[in-house]
A and B are shown apart, each in its own frame.
Chain A
Amino acid sequence: MRRYRYRWGEGLWAHFFHRVSGIALVAYLSMHIWVIHHLQKGPAAYDRLMETLSGPLFRVGEAFLLAAVLYHGLNGLRIAAMDAGIGMRAHRATYRVVFAVCAVVGIAGGIALVFFP
């Protein structure tokens, strides 16, 4: 039995974050569908639920949601481009660009979500 050691470069980080953000997004989507089905319970119950879900903790969660959506989407475009043979040589640089865009837009959008709802 051979033991393998991973070389944690940009490619592996990109893959790892893609997987983690994907799982998180499926978990969020499931909860989202469940929450929205409360529309059936009428305006009063639905708006009460929305008020609970507008608390500070949930807004911080939404900032992370934004970052996960951005990362998974941008890195997904990067993967699709590479599948088409575009940007293979520059894959480390494009990963850094994806990560930087997510950090900047995620933090700016997160601040907007948390402090200026």
Chain B
Amino acid sequence: MSRTGSTGWLLQRASGLLLFALVIAHFVLTHFMGPEKRLYADVARRFADPLWKAFDLGLLTLALAHGWYGIWGIAQDYLKSGAARVLALVCCLTAALALFSLGAVTILTFRAV
């Protein structure tokens, strides 16, 4: 990452633009396409197509990166000491990686029963 944080700034804008389209598509598909489709069978039908798994994996990655980068940015507004900032960064990275693992395992190991 560049010293001034401009790379992070640019990635936050780019991921934000992508998320705007993807999150709204995700919300409309699960809530506003006829009767609610969120039971196990509905998920199984969608996940039978690897493209849907790729879509959800992409959404998971972008949302976690964008979200936790944002939280880290907020933390920097309030934390002045270097040690506290490093600690905040470690916490944000840990949370993002843990949630990514949980989500990725859920998507990739899904086998309909």
In A17-54, which residues have CB < 8 Å from any B CB?
19, 22-23, 25-26, 29-30, 33-34, 36-37, 39-40, 42-43, 46-47, 50, 54
Q: How many Cβ-Cβ contacts under 8 Å join chain A to chain B?
A: 75
What separation, in Å, do the CA atoms of A90 and B23 have in the docked complex? 27
Residues of A within 8 A of B (CB): 19, 22-23, 25-26, 29-30, 33-34, 36-37, 39-40, 42-43, 46-47, 50, 54, 62, 66, 69, 73, 76-77, 80, 83, 109, 112-113, 117
Question: Which B residues from 1 to 37 make CB contacts under 8 A with A?
Answer: 13, 16-17, 19-20, 23-24, 27, 31-32, 35-36
Interface residues of B (CB under 8 A from A): 13, 16-17, 19-20, 23-24, 27, 31-32, 35-36, 38-41, 43, 60, 63-64, 67-68, 70-71, 74, 95, 99, 102-103, 105-106, 109-110, 113
